[in-house]
Amino acid sequence: MSLSATTPAAKTTWIVLAAISLCHMINDVMQSLLAAIYPLLALEFDLSFWQIGLMTFAFQVTASLLQPLVCLVTDRRPMPQSLPVGMGSTLVGLLLLGFAQSYGALLLGAMFIGVGSAVFHPESSRVARLASGGKFGTAQSLFQVGGNFGSALGPLLAAFVVVPLGRPSVAAFAVMALVGMMILNRVGLWYGALARASAAQGRTRPAHSLGRRPVIWAIVILALLTFSKNAYTASISSYYTFYLIERFDLGIEAAQQLLFLFLAATAAGVMLGGLIGDRFGPLVVIWVSILGVLPFTLALPHVGLVATAVLSVVIGIIIASAFPAIVVYAQALLPGRVGLVAGIFFGFAFGMGGIAAAILGVMADFRGIVWVYQACAFLPVLGLLTIFLPSRRRLAS
């Protein structure tokens, strides 16, 4: 019996949603420490921009390649206890980052973190849907906001803990991973019990009137929209501190604090995206989020420090609201394939972000970091592709 066929809990199971969101926060705190300590690693190991980009590539593409494989297995055979295993892989990667003596070891640590992401994200996204009680957008947002908040905490922890105490202090955050593994073990027990309770039910897949070809084209468009969002986000998460240091002559700690503002704004945007999507439909959120952010991204490379901080918050809120809407919309396109959808879009998000980070690193070495932000400002133009997505009425029919 596939969990893709499992009916969500009759009522919203808030304690499970809170637990999975908390663990998402813990997982992404550790992941965000990778990007947050890039300036420290660049100084200690004398890294160039392309080497920084390659580390992001190693992390995100590892996650991207493995996630669809994980989902192919778990859509057919649920693995509730894979959740703490994924967190354990991230823990190992964090220890490697703390004690690595070579660039190769840093790459290996980034890859272990990617493996942890590949296991954790699809299965925990499935748990969020199962616990939603039908509030799919809200549940997806609650799950994702934990990750965004964790990503936002990473730069602050790097600024106030890792930078003053040195790189080995990264390993101290492994304690958080142990706590997360214990919580995920309990979530896995709930997940497994729900799977067993649903095993007697038939395989149910609500249908829509769309044929196979329109569904495939819609998934491709959603993937391109995800690329637009994540390529721009990668430019911020990987290089924003370098941009602030070069353009405004900020110190590392001040730059990390401004990065925190952007990442905290993305957490707020994720929550708003789910709530608005449940009220007005995910398609409305996708339109506003991807294309609506364009005026602000175009302005960002041409303003002063204060305006840069304000615009980064506005951009973070608007652009982040798209992802829960994209996931919920894709789940409606492919009913009953929750794992596959999570694998495609969480995996694609990581993979495209990694590829974008690597390419942007090379461009920054040749053209300068300011030029990178001027070029990336046009990425949201891809939001015009939303016009080709099936309407809410067609999807519901």
* Predicted confidence pLDDT, tens digits, the chain (397 residues): 333 444 555 567 889 999 999 999 888 888 878 877 888 888 889 988 888 888 878 887 787 777 777 776 776 776 777 889 889 998 899 889 888 889 999 999 999 988 888 888 778 878 887 887 777 778 888 888 887 778 778 777 877 888 788 788 888 888 888 899 999 999 988 887 776 666 545 444 555 566 778 888 888 898 888 888 888 888 887 788 888 988 898 888 888 888 888 888 888 888 888 888 878 888 888 888 888 889 999 999 999 999 999 999 999 999 888 888 888 888 788 776 766 777 777 766 666 766 777 788 888 888 888 888 888 889 888 888 888 888 766 665 5
Structural domains of the chain in order of their starting residue, each with its CATH number: 10-199+209-396 (1.20.1250.20)
How far is residue 365 CA from its own chain's centroid? 26
**Distance from C-alpha of 390 to C-alpha of 283, rounded to nearest angstrom:** 9
Structural contact between residues 125 and 24, judged by C-beta atoms closer than 8 angstroms: no
CB atoms within 10 A of CB 190: 19
Question: For residue 324, what pLDDT is reported?
Answer: 82
pTM given for the model = 0.69
**Distance from C-alpha of 50 to C-alpha of 81, rounded to nearest angstrom:** 37
Structural contact between residues 318 and 297, judged by C-beta atoms closer than 8 angstroms: no
Up-side HSE of residue 103: CA atoms within 13 Å toward CB? Answer: 15
CB atoms within 10 A of CB 145: 24
